[in-house]
Structure 1
Amino acid sequence: MLQDERSKGIAAGIGAYSLWGLLPIYWKLLGEISAGEVLAHRIVWSFLFLILLFWALRKLGTLKEDLRYIKDHPKISAGIMLSAFFISINWILFIWAVAAERVVEVSLGYYINPLINVVLGVLFFKESLSNRQRTAVGLAVCGVLILTISFGQIPYVALALAFSFGMYGLVKKQTQIGAMTGLILETMFLLPPAIVYLLIIHRDLSSILYLPDLSTALLLAGTGAATAVPLLLFGSAARLIPLSLLGFLQYIAPTSMLFLGVLVYGEPFTAAHGAAFAFIWTALLLYSIRPKRKPSAA
């Protein structure tokens, strides 16, 4: 039974990170629409998809209870608003970067995200770093410096993606709200500005609903499922397998993005990229290796 649960958890984790890794393909299909408009549609359709999902799972009552609880705890409301802000920054950067043919830089951002989380732990929770962790962070910094020196600018897209997702995780850790409930509340907070933005760029409600072709309309509507399904798979995996194994599986996503950027979309991968990624992969290897515990004396 436990083996079955582990197998299901591994399958769910692989599914979640594979879908996240393939998201650039989806955003490429919407490349003719501005990143801001795609983001606004993503927020609206994610909210609607999750409402339908809560209804189908008969969890609307639970959602109402959560809303009442959050209403009585302003700090949690503030935390959800803050996490909504960080995830919206992450989403729009991702969408824009894919359209701007910077998928390789997106993959870099998600490779360095675990190391950014280490830095955030030091800054916000005063966590101490082992020598191995310090070395890993130092190697990652060297990788970023190589790209900065080679191309004359900081890889700001990668860093912004890593920091925004890191801050999102940090705030989520403090609010301690379930994945589904958290996402629907975040999209609920983002819904009014998303609708206002769509009204401003389209000037009236009827033109929002008018799209050049059916495929574009379906792709925009599908952003809700594209957002929620990987998250639900991730939530299932997190319950069924150890976090150490889940942490290893997370590299499926940036690796998929890297292959897409270089092999499918023909983005440049120079010697500087190779050196930078080598430093970061070495850093991740150091970060991932757990030191063996010394046997306790009998």
Structure 2
Amino acid sequence: MGLVFSISAYGVWGFLPGFFLLLAPASPWEIVAFRILMSLVFCAILLTVTRGWRAFLELARQPRVLGAMALAGVLIYINWQVFVLATLGGHVVEGSLGYFINPVITVALGVVLLRERLRPLQWVAVGVSVIAILVIALGYGAFPWIALALALSFGFYGFIKKRVGGQVDAVSGLTLETVWLTPVAIVQLVVTGVTVGLTFGTVSPVHTLLMVATGVITATPLLLFAAAARRLPLVALGLTQYLAPILQFLTGVFLLNEPMPLGRWIGFALVWLSLVLLTVDMVRAARASRRASVPVA
């Protein structure tokens, strides 16, 4: 069942570009503002249904948790905004690159922030990823800022969530993050309304429902991922994370016909090679850990 939860979570994330494209002609700023507000509404409903308000309020009284969730909110806001801007701007492939290199960024953060020691294969994977980014930048004629912004924002977001550990559940965490971001969303809606105009309620009933559904489409995969994380070993969870960028990449290349010059293909091939190396290292480490934990007769 854990595998079903994990595949479902990453599957939803993989099809997000298609969902956001359905929200046109709404601007990226209006979409993200509604994503924040509707996520807050959906989380409030979930807390009510699951009777989680008491636990949520206890977390909200802890300054350390509030500070961590505020920082997490800033990072996830950057991630959401860049992702929607990339999707509506015709850069779905570069967005997928960000999530392909995210595991490598996570490994690098462990070295820089936690002083973790990398195994030789991990060092090779990090080095290959750096070369891949340079190849893409040179071959495509532009530095992959979108990919790095997505990878770094989500990498630091994951680092913060890991630091708070099991203290903050998925629903309470997302609720606190969206509470912090609500003023930003309101300002964003006001500015968008004054400048380019809001589309909510003016296009069609289906468009209005889809805008409201941004809260469900945001919170659901997070809840599925949390359920998967409790049931699956780390290796299985790590392998399924590649499903989302693969689906995004296929959407950009084959459905949206985004350009893929030779330099970009070579760069992506190097990224995929680094992911293979990381996966092999992860499986090796898991097997070694299991052998070490087996009691000697």
Do Structure 1 and Structure 2 share a fold, with TM-score over 0.5? yes
1:145 is matched with which residue?
Answer: 134
Q: Pick from 198, 208, 213 the counterpart of residue 222 of structure 1.
A: 213
User: Could you say which residue in structure 1 is the equivalent of 2:241?
Assistant: 250
Residue among 152, 167, 175 paired with 1:184: 175
**Contact 1:199 1:208 survives alignment (8 Å):** no
Could you tell me which amino acid in structure 1 is paired with residue 272 of structure 2? W
CA contact (8 A) 1:86 1:167 kept: yes
Alpha-carbon distance, 1:202 to partner:
2.6
Alpha-carbon displacement from aligned partner over 1:212-236 (angstroms, at most 9, x marks no partner): 3222211110000000011111010
What is the identity, as a one-letter code, of the residue corresponding to 1:37? E
The whole-number CA distance in structure 1 between the counterparts of 2:199 and 2:246 is 36
Residues 47, 184 of structure 1: 8 Å contact kept: yes
DSSP-derived class of the 1:268 partner: coil
Per the normalisation by structure 2, the TM-score is: 0.91
Q: Which residue of 2 aligns with 1:11?
A: 4
Task: State the shift of 1:131 in Å.
Answer: 1.2
1:209 shift after superposition: 6.0
| Match of residue 28, structure 2, among 9, 21, 35 | 35
Aligned-residue offset at 1:284: 0.7
1:239 Cα deviation from its structure 2 partner: 0.6
- For residues 248-283 of structure 1, give each alpha carbon's deviation from its aligned partner in whole angstroms, at most 9, with x where no partner exists: 000000000111111111112222222111111111
Q: Pick from 129, 135, 149: which aligns with 2:124?
A: 135
- Aligned partner of 1:199 in structure 2 is 190
| Aligned partner of 2:109 among 120, 123, 127 | 120
Q: Does the Cα contact within 8 Å between 2:200 and 2:211 map onto a contact in 1?
A: no
Rounded to whole Å, the distance in 2 between the matches of 1:32 and 1:120 is 38
Give the aligned length.
Answer: 284
Q: CA RMSD in A?
A: 1.8
Separation in structure 2 between the aligned mates of residue 235 and residue 173 of structure 1, nearest angstrom: 12
CA offset at residue 208 of structure 1? 8.2
Output the TM-score relative to the length of structure 1.
0.90
Identity %: 39
3-state SS of paired residue (2:203): coil
Moved segments of 4+, more than 6 Å: 294-298
Q: Which amino acid aligns with 1:261?
A: G
Q: 1:282 aligns with which of 273, 281, 284?
A: 273
- Distance of 1:208 and 1:192 partners within structure 2: 20
1:88 aligns with 2:77: yes
Contact in 1 for aligned 2:14/2:243 (Cα 8 Å): yes
Pick which of 127-136 and 221-230 moved more. 127-136
1:221-240 alignment to 2 at 5 Å?
221-240=212-231
Residues 172 and 293 (structure 1 numbering): CA distance in 2 closer, same or farther, change over 3 Å?
closer
Give the C-alpha shift of residue 29 in structure 1: 1.0
In the alignment, what sits opposite 1:59?
A: 52
Q: Deviation of residue 33 (structure 1)? A: 1.5
Query: After superposition, what is the alpha-carbon deviation per residue over 1:25-77, rounded to whole angstroms, capped at 9, x for unaligned?
Result: 01111232211111111000000011011111222222222223x2xxx2322
CA separation in 2, counterparts of 1:263 and 1:113?
Answer: 23
What is the alpha-carbon distance in structure 2 between the residues aligned to residue 202 and residue 269 of structure 1? 36
DSSP-derived class of the 2:15 partner:
helix
TM superposition shift of 1:198: 1.5
Name the counterpart of 1:4. Answer: none
Q: Note the residue ranges of structure 1 that are not aligned, 5 or more in a row.
A: 1-7
Deviation of 1:293 after TM superposition, in Å, equals: 3.2
2:259 match: secondary structure: coil
Amino acid of the residue matched to residue 173 of structure 1?
Answer: K
Q: Distance in 1 between matches of 2:39 and 2:131?
A: 38
Change (3 A) 1:208 1:96: closer
The alpha-carbon deviation at position 247 of structure 1 amounts to 0.5
Amino acid at match of 1:19: V
Shift of 1:87: 0.3
Match of 1:3 in 2: none
